[in-house]
Amino acid sequence: MTDEREIRQTLAAALVERAKKDNRIVVLDADLMSCHATKCFKEAFPDRFFNVGIAEANMIGMAAGMSAMGKIPFTYSFAPFATRRCFDQIFISVAYAGLNVKMVGSEPGVAAEANGGTHMPFEDMAIMRSIPKMVCFEPTDATMMEKALDEIIDYPSSVYIRMFRKKAAKIYDDSLDFKLGKAIELRDGSDVTLIASGIMVERALQAADLLAEEGISAKVVNIHTWKPIDKDAIVEAAKKTGAIVTCENHNIFGGLGSAVSEVVVENQPVPLKMVGVKDEFGQVGKNAYLSEVYGITTADIVKAAKEAISRK
């Protein structure tokens, strides 16, 4: 079921509510206010909203300065420009300096659709995961984004939020008990574990249904925080099912598959298959078409699960 709320609108509205109680919160946007629905924040707090123009590196420098003065800045841009374009500023001005900046990168992976290869980041989480002490988070739906915000604001170091902007599949309701770095089991199973993030969570659940029709019991785990990753959940799943499939809208090099493999190889080696983009650049196309091209469909997850099980 598709959520009625867009993730971008949910985050922006929630920031307005938090900012009413916390005057440290400021928002910086790289000339993408309509894309990120941040107009509501500008209208509520015109003196705490900064449109820096298409100058992402400068935006990070400004945010670092604001953080040094006690503010909690949220920066917004499309994911490749929020990460790849201003990597050195993030690494030195923010992370190395031990500052607290919350960076929102939108339209990750195939979500970029018609914006094409230059705007289609399959590497953003790999980039950010390489930075010491950086938290890397991908909300699954609007409910998770809203539930996560208080912890993100209070978290003592910088956070990268990989945000699908529009309406996503509704996976969670208001009973969600969220914690950064803590995986969520959506379905129990005994034959294989499907570990998914972002838009791939819905596909993993669909794959589990299809596998069940063939008598295969699939455990589904949502790892929303790629760093710090929930090692205990991964090891437990590996022990119980003996096979893992990672599902990501991202390059498998440095992405979720890599992060999970780093845990598995040291703690509980089991057969593992990665469903993700395999060393490719982006291109223009609709989500469904691009998912077929890059091999990240529900059918691809089913196939990978069977292959992983066959290697047990």
223 and 280 share one domain:
yes
What pLDDT score does 291 carry? 96
Model confidence at 168: pLDDT above 80: no
Which domain does 295 fall in, by range? 184-310
CB 195 within 8 A of CB 223: yes
The answer to whether position 175 is within a domain reads no
What pLDDT score does 244 carry? 99
Name the domain boundary from 169, 202, 236: 169
Residue 184 pairs in a beta bridge with 222
Binned at pLDDT 50, 70 and 90, residue 284 comes out as very high
24 and 111 share one domain:
yes
Whole-angstrom CA distances from 165 to 154, 231, 247, 310 are 23, 28, 20, 37
Whole-angstrom CA distances from 276 to 76, 192, 273 are 25, 17, 10
48 and 95 share one domain:
yes
What pLDDT score does 36 carry? 86
Structure tokens at 257: 């598959």
Range in 37-41, 227-231, 236-240 the model is least confident about: 37-41
Structure tokens at 77: 């841009």
Q: For position 52, which CATH number holds?
A: 3.40.50.970
Known catalytic residues are: 56
140 and 189 share one domain:
no
SS3 call for 177 = coil
The answer to whether position 256 is within a domain reads yes
Average pLDDT, the chain: 95
Nearest-angstrom CA–CA distance, 178 and 4: 20
Q: Which residues contact 65 (CB under 8 A, 6 or more apart)?
A: none
Q: Which residues contact 52 (CB under 8 A, 6 or more apart)?
A: 28, 29, 30, 31, 58, 59, 62
Model confidence at 251: pLDDT above 70: yes
SS3 content of the chain, % helix, strand, coil (to 5): 45, 20, 35
Please state the rounded mean pLDDT for residues 76-105. 97
26 and 154 share one domain:
yes
The answer to whether position 110 is within a domain reads yes
Q: Which residues contact 156 (CB under 8 A, 6 or more apart)?
A: 100
146 and 210 share one domain:
no
Nearest-angstrom CA–CA distance, 45 and 26: 9
Model confidence at 34: pLDDT above 80: no
Nearest-angstrom CA–CA distance, 247 and 252: 9
Name the domain boundary from 124, 143, 169: 169
pTM of the entire predicted model:
0.96
Q: For the chain, what is the domain count?
A: 2
59 and 82 share one domain:
yes
The answer to whether position 177 is within a domain reads no
Binned at pLDDT 50, 70 and 90, residue 3 comes out as low
Binned at pLDDT 50, 70 and 90, residue 9 comes out as very high
241 or 113, higher pLDDT:
241
What pLDDT score does 85 carry? 96
What pLDDT score does 133 carry? 96
15 and 152 share one domain:
yes
